[in-house]
Structure 1
């Protein structure tokens, strides 16, 4: 990270305090609330809030609202994020204070997982029935991974992230992942799942798929997995997703082919009973995307009517004429002001 002398001094001043450095080390492992941090640090809420305010003013962390809760995370800026990660990686392994913080952090994550397990147990029967109507999720996930490829990329957005599973399977490929969902209950499930999988390069936050709380032209890959059939205006969701892609970025959509299972509309809030290739190609084209690939996943044979799962991959048709280096792109988006 290249900054002016004054900016570097201000940044280091913000981080160069024991509690604030502990906070950065904790946030490098996932998003936390003020309540989480007060429990872990053993400090009063006003004191923790003061530390958080100084770190935010320095551009090292960010804040987002989820109902009545406020979550804190490392900055969305790649330059600031990398700076913090390098900083906390220099803390000696086994430091007694940090070890105690991590033990308390593990307790916070266990409580999240307990709440997630309770929510799953209350809804498992409904979800299991729908899963039984189509091919196993793992088959679709494997195809999705193969279609996207193994080349690492900078950033990913999962719209309607649900359990966070799509963020999990792509986590080895992206540097920064974001999941958006309207349901606080599902966000709790997603956080618990990402914590359990040890994934620290992804975060989830509350937001509307028609107005996601993220910057446009910022993501190399956007995914919409089994979400469109719940929406009254899927075309609008696709247009919004396309606006979030960087030039030549890709949009991956997983949903159902047209079907006649009306009970999904009546009992499970499905507003659309599947989508045809022609309809999807039209929507992608209207959003400025080219349909690159489509795949079908036929259901297992049986007497009960089944669902065919579809996978569509669209690409932003804008070309990357002169793509800057990763460091340069990150610097240009940093909130820290003078990163070159």
Structure 2
């Protein structure tokens, strides 16, 4: 996609400032809040917010709400995202300022992992019990990998992402991955898992599977893994997922076959 001379000048002006370039470098490694960026950059919140506003207006980054928290990310637009990635890839990671920023970013991510570990430890027992009632995860993942194949693609969306596991196993194939989940606690776990795995090309955000906060006709692969049986209208969720696919995109659904095991319904929803 080509843009006008004036548009390109405005875009370059927005990026051509030390703090804003630092923000782009940080967001290229994952989504962050204003508080995260304030802590990493060592600047006041109003100043950081001003930089973010200019980057938003230039279409270089995006913003989404998760409860009372606002997260910032690189733009979802493929061309603008590629432009930013090329821009930040030319900045040396050995630059003293970048080194300090990445050290502080690592500290912020460790805090996330600590919160996720605390939540997981409180709930792991029930999760492990429920998972023992299912087909083994490895068998499901092997089947998914076989279905998807080895050919790289542009974008993936995981609806009801939970711990972000599908985003993790397909990360080598997609350029941009997005996970949606209603549970903020699960999103905390998913972010920590993606950080731990060193996956910077995926993000997770809070949203309703019936009205996901993503663009339509934009994804090559959409997955719905062990989610439909919790919904009151699974057909509507599938119809919405189909609208999110690009032409020739693929939708993969993993769920229970029909069964008469009432304890799965009564005890495990």
TM-score under structure 1 normalisation? 0.77
Q: CA deviation at 1:140?
A: 0.8
Partners of 1:8 and 1:243 in 2: how far apart? Answer: 32
| Residue 124 of structure 2: aligned partner | 124
What CA distance in whole angstroms lies between the structure 1 residues aligned with 2:247 and 2:9?
Answer: 36
Matched, 1:136 2:136: yes
For 1:230 and 1:110, the matched residues in 2 are separated by 32
Please name the residue that 1:235 is paired with. 235
Residue 48 of structure 1 aligns with which residue?
48
1:53-202 matched pairs, under 5 angstroms: 53-202=53-202
Q: Distance in 2 between matches of 1:129 and 1:220?
A: 34
SS at match of 2:10: helix
Deviation per residue, 1:224-251 (Å, 9 max, x gap): 0010111111111111111111122111
Count of residue pairs the alignment pairs up: 269
CA distance in 2, matches of 1:267, 1:116: 25
CA distance in 1, matches of 2:92, 2:145: 37
What SS does the aligned partner of 1:154 have?
Answer: strand
What is the correspondence of 1:202-217 to structure 2 with a 5 Å cutoff?
202-217=202-217
- Matched residues in 2 for 1:42 and 1:64: separation? 23
Higher normalized helix content (fraction of residues): 2
Q: Quote the offset at 1:265 in angstroms.
A: 2.2
**Partner Cα distance (2:212, 2:134) in 1:** 29
Once the 2 structures are TM-superposed, how far is the Cα of residue 109 of structure 1 from its aligned partner? Answer: 0.5
The 5 A counterparts of 1:292-307 are none
Instruction: Report the structure number with the largest CA radius of gyration.
Output: 1
Q: Quote the offset at 1:262 in angstroms.
A: 2.1
- The 2-side partners of 1:134 and 1:203 are apart by 27
Correspondence for 1:298 = none
Q: CA offsets, 1:248-302, max 9 Å, x none? A: 211101111122232232232x2xxxxxxxxxxxxxxxxxxxxxxxxxxxxxxxx
* Gap runs ≥5 in structure 1: 271-340
Matched, 1:256 2:262: no
User: What RMSD over aligned residues (CA atoms) do the two structures have, in Å?
Assistant: 1.0
Extract unaligned runs of 5+ from structure 2. Answer: none
| Paired residue secondary structure (1:11) | helix
Secondary structure at the counterpart of residue 255 of structure 2: strand
Q: Distance between the aligned counterparts of 2:122 and 2:175, measured in 1?
A: 34
Separation of aligned partners in 1, 2:78 and 2:134: 39
SS in 2 for 1:256: coil
Distance 1:85 1:127 in 2: 38
Equivalent residue, structure 1, for 2:35: 35
CA offset at residue 91 of structure 1?
1.1
Query: Which residue does the alignment assign to 1:295?
Result: none
3-state SS in 2 of match to 1:64 = strand
